[in-house]
Amino acid sequence: MGGGTDLAHISADVVLLGDDLARLSSVFDTARATLRIIHQNLAWAAAYNAVAIPLAVAGWITPLVAGIGMAASSLLVVANALRLLGAGGLSSSLARRGDPPALALTRE
């Protein structure tokens, strides 16, 4: 399937590399996991800002504490996103040892 015409490769968002359609399910699993983590990160950021901003505006927390809290919140979001690379995530579902990549993203 990775041997389609150049026009198909250019116009597609995703191109399967190889002839194994069974690996397509791992692509969808990874997409679902990615979307779930995006929603978790957005929910965390919204909840944090809904609490922290009014406290900072009211003067109940100092700018230093607010800055530390924002940095910690950002680190939490990044750590949550990095779970995709962990066991059972992106690296194991798409890049099995010795197998070619399951897909190629095409953006221009």
| 65 phi and psi angles, rounded to 5 deg | -65, -40
Please name which of 34, 32, 2, 36 lies closest in space to residue 16, comparing C-alpha atoms: 2
Please state the pTM of the whole predicted model: 0.65
Look at residue 40 in the predicted model and tell me its pLDDT: 94
Look at residue 39 in the predicted model and tell me its pLDDT: 95
Confidence of residue 99 (pLDDT cuts 50, 70, 90): low
Task: Compute the average pLDDT of residues 37-54.
Answer: 92
